[in-house]
Amino acid sequence: MQLTLWTYEGPPHIGAMRIATSLQNVHYVLHSPQGDTYADLLFTMIERREARPPITYTTFQARDLGADTAALFKNSVRDAYARFKPDLMVVGASCTAELIQDDPGGLAHALALPIPVVPLELPAYQKKENWGASESFYQIVRACARPAAAARPARPPASTEGRRPLCNILGPTALGFRHRDDLREIKALLGTLGIAIGVVAPLGAAPADLARLGEADFNVVLYPEIAHLTAQWLQRQFGQPATMTVPIGVGATRRFIAEVAALSGLAPDAPSVTAALAGSTLRLPWYSRSVDSTYLTDKRVFIFGDATHALAAARIARDELGLAVVGLGTYSREFARDFRAAAETYGVKPLITDDYLEVEREIAAAEPALVLGTQMERHIAKRLGIPCAVISAPIHVQDFPAHHAPYMGFEGANAIFDAWIQPLMMGLEEHLLTMFREDFEFHTAAPPSHLGRHVPQASPPAANTDPTRWVDEALRELAKIPFFVRGKARRNTEKFAAERGISPITLETLYDAKAHFSH
């Protein structure tokens, strides 16, 4: 058993629901107890979808367990087919139905429906949401793509045929973190490169579209957590190569363009490649070089999320914003090996866990100035008083903003700059604060607050109160620090003194502490 307050991923059948809901003309019959229908609200309330997800739940109860749950399942499949007339049916069990072993696949098969029925076996006590999404996408693609592609001969490269290269985009789903906006961004980028888009899947694809997957020259994999398995199969089956670079951040977007150009047979200096690389609306590089951003240098950042977004965040933080990565972790155990290798380049020990309490402990210990995490880390950071930006699922209503807010491509990089920097203090402000802090003597704006003549007090008054004793001279010096950083200076000094058993705090202690904390 695992003690869980919050969970980073749902059970695997939620992943299957995301795939079924992404696709068109597909219906999912889930053998499940009453109550599992809560999942509908993920789609209708978090993503604000206008239609119910295409899911029928058997919603068995105790009285059904004593009777015939298998018959209940068969009736549900029959009724769902009659009502919804899908092109393809997906059947499976949620965690409780897995225990009663009714064999949904076999039962549905016995009904001999005139459409393909894809049984999903998603072990609910071992696996989780992303695995379930990946497996479901793979099984459905296998069922749809194979027959249509079997007779197709291998195609010569696009460049030798004088036609536009053709690619599929794999990975975007319903309830995906910024998938809607990433997709728009990547479609535009591929358009600039002159590459035609065949099938986008699973988001918006019907079984008939999946049948055409084999026609493309290559696959663009946006989210390896969801589409890597399927892309590997398509590679084996149809010889389609797939992109390896996830275009999050400036550098990754440029590498992605180069990779896509190579897969399309475009010359690295072809006009369309040059145009794509130019990124006329890209602002992150200049904003990051702008002098007001110097305060970002080596700011300590702790990163946690799914593997793709956490690794991308680390790269952007270090290479494109000049932050210092002091913690890097993921809940995507499936990607643990790659993640460990990548974490080495940041000189940090990777945190691979889905235990929220462990993440909380690690963040507290790392004392970062910024947390880049999930909604859960946002809660942790709030408690610890640390600024935080959200970079990854689990999904939240805030991740479906009304405006275009991609994470991918150059516009994604711009959006990242804004989203990560805003929680921090504005650069110029912090720069001035730092100047004041190091310039006690020239600073006259802050009154001697222990005399209590002036009002604005962001920090506790510098009165000489126990338990930590200050000598008067040190206290007067403390009072010269601007009020908005005085509290921090006081806390740091007292922490420094307490750790070393120093009492009372003298002028020396104050400056020793200052030297210590300024690294």
Partner 1 sequence: MNHSPAPPPIGLAPDALPVLRERGQREVFCGLTSIVWLHRKIQDAFFLVVGSRTCAHLLQSAAGVMIFAEPRFATAIIEERDLAGLADANDELDRIVTRLLERRRDIRLLFLVGSCPSEVIKLDLGRAAARLSARFAPEVSVLHYSGSGIETTFTEGEDAALAALVPVLPREADDAAPSLMVVGALSEIVEDQLARLFAEIGIAPVHFMPARRAREMPPLGSKTRFILAQPFLAETARGLMARGAQPIAAPFPLGAEGTSLWLGAAAAAFGIAPAALSARLGASEARARAAMAPHRAILAGKHVFFFPDSQLEVPLARFLARELGMELIEVATPYLHRQHLAAELALLPPDVMLVEGQDVERQLDRCRAAKPDLVVCGLGLANPLEAEQLTTKWSIELLFTPIQGYDQAGDLAELFARPLRRRARLRI
372 - beta bridge partners?
Answer: 303, 389
Report the residue count for the chain.
519
Q: CB of 204: closest distance to partner 1 in angstroms?
A: 18
Q: Which of 90, 412, 104 is nearest to 249 (CA)?
A: 412
Instruction: Kindly name the residue from 79, 292, 298, 472 that is annotated as catalytic.
Output: 292
Based on CB atoms, which residue is closest to partner 1, 368 or 394?
394
The yes-or-no answer on residue 292 being catalytic is yes
Buried b (16+ CB within 10 A) or exposed e, 36-74: bbebbebbeebbebeeebbbbbbbbeeebeeeebbebbb
- Report whether 59 contacts 31 (CB < 8 A): no
Cβ partners under 8 Å of residue 232, min gap 6: 242
Based on CB atoms, which residue is closest to partner 1, 126 or 280?
126
Based on CB atoms, which residue is closest to partner 1, 29 or 227?
29
Three-class SS of 194-213: CCEEEEEECCCCCHHHHHCH
- Find where tokens 């007067």 sit: 476
Based on CB atoms, which residue is closest to partner 1, 19 or 479?
19
The Cα–Cα gap between 389 and 39 comes to: 26
Q: CB of 35: closest distance to partner 1 in angstroms?
A: 3
Tell me which DSSP letter residue 60 carries: B
List residues near partner 1 by CB under 8 A: 1-7, 9-11, 13-14, 33-42, 44-46, 48-52, 56-62, 64-65, 76, 79, 83, 94-96, 99-100, 123-126, 128, 357, 375, 379, 382-383, 394, 396-397
Question: Peptide bond preceding 394: is omega within 30 degrees of 0, i.e. cis?
Answer: yes
Q: CB of 4: closest distance to partner 1 in angstroms?
A: 5
Q: CB of 369: closest distance to partner 1 in angstroms?
A: 22
Based on CB atoms, which residue is closest to partner 1, 40 or 338?
40
Based on CB atoms, which residue is closest to partner 1, 95 or 507?
95
Tell me which DSSP letter residue 157 carries: P
Q: CB of 62: closest distance to partner 1 in angstroms?
A: 5
Q: Which of 111, 112, 55 is nearest to 83 (CA)?
A: 55
Q: CB of 46: closest distance to partner 1 in angstroms?
A: 7
The Cα–Cα gap between 128 and 140 comes to: 18
- Work out the burial of residue 449: count CB atoms within 10 Å of its CB; fewer than 13 is exposed, 13-18 middle, 19 or more buried: buried
Based on CB atoms, which residue is closest to partner 1, 42 or 311?
42
Q: CB of 467: closest distance to partner 1 in angstroms?
A: 23
Residue 217: strand, helix, or coil: coil
**Where in the sequence numbering do the catalytic residues fall?**
292
